[in-house]
Structure 1
Amino acid sequence: MRRCPSLAVATLLLCAGCSTTSTKAAPEPSVDQGSVVKAAVAATSKGPARIDQTIEITGGGAGGTITVTGGIDFAGDKATLGVDFPQGGISHVDEVFAGKQAYVRGASGVDNDTWAVTPRDTAEAHYLLRAPLNDPKHVLRQISAMHHVSKEGDEEVTGARTVHYRGMLDHDTLTLRMAKETREKVNQTRGLLGSDLPAYADAWVDQQGRVVQTRMSMDLTAGRVTVTTTLSDLGKPIQVSVPPADDAVPATGFTGILTG
Structure 2
Amino acid sequence: MRRPGPSRRSRALTGTVVLLCAAALTGLVGCSGESDAPSDGAGKASPAPEGDLAGTVVEAVAETRRTSARFDQEITMSDGKQTQLLFIKGDFDMAGDMGRLTVEIPEIGGARAEELFVAGKVYLRAVKETAGPWGYFDRNKSEVHLPLRAPMNDPEHTLFQVGMAKNVYYQGVEKMNGAPAKHYRGMLDHLAVSLRLGKSQQEDANRERASRGEDVPVYADVWIDEAGRVVQTRTAFDFGDNTTTVTTVFSDFGKPVKVTAPPAAGLATLSPVPHILTG
TM range (shorter): 0.7 to 0.9
Give how far 1:234 is off: 0.6
Asked if the contact 1:9–1:64 (Cα under 8 Å) also holds between the matched residues in 2, the reply is no
* 1:221 and 2:240 aligned: yes
Tell me which amino acid in the other structure corresponds to 1:12: T
| CA–CA distance in structure 1, aligned partners of residues 261 and 72 of structure 2 | 21
What is the one-letter code of the residue matched to 1:165? Y
Matching residue of 1:12: 14
Which structure 2 residue ranges, 5 or more long, are not aligned?
A: 1-9, 17-50
3-state SS in 2 of match to 1:133 = helix
Counterpart in the other structure of 1:88? 108
Letter in 2 for 1:83: V
Please name the residue that 1:140 is paired with: 159
The normalised TM-score by structure 2 is 0.79
Residues 12 and 222, structure 1, Cα contact 8 Å, conserved in 2: no
Q: What secondary structure does 1:12 align onto?
A: helix
The yes-or-no answer on 1:231 pairing with 2:254 is no
Backbone CA RMSD of aligned residues? 2.3
Alignment size in residue pairs: 236
Q: Any idea what SS the aligned residue of 1:247 has?
A: coil
Aligned partners of 1:134, 1:219: CA distance in 2, in Å?
A: 21
Identity of aligned residues (%): 39
State the partner residue of 2:87: 67
Query: Aligned runs of 1:101-140 on 2, under 5 Å?
Result: 101-106=121-126, 112-140=131-159
Structure 1 gap segments, 5+ residues each: 1-7, 15-30
Report the Cα offset of residue 54 of structure 1: 0.2
Give every structure 1 segment of 4 or more consecutive aligned residues whose post-TM-superposition deviation is greater than 3 Å: none
Deviation at 1:121, TM superposition (A): 0.4
Structure 2: distance between partners of 1:55 and 1:65: 6
In the alignment, is the contact (CA less than 8 A) between 1:9 and 1:62 conserved in 2? Answer: no
Per-residue Cα deviation, 1:200-221 (whole angstroms, up to 9, x for no partner): 1010000000000001000010
Question: What CA distance in whole angstroms lies between the structure 1 residues aligned with 2:193 and 2:262?
Answer: 32
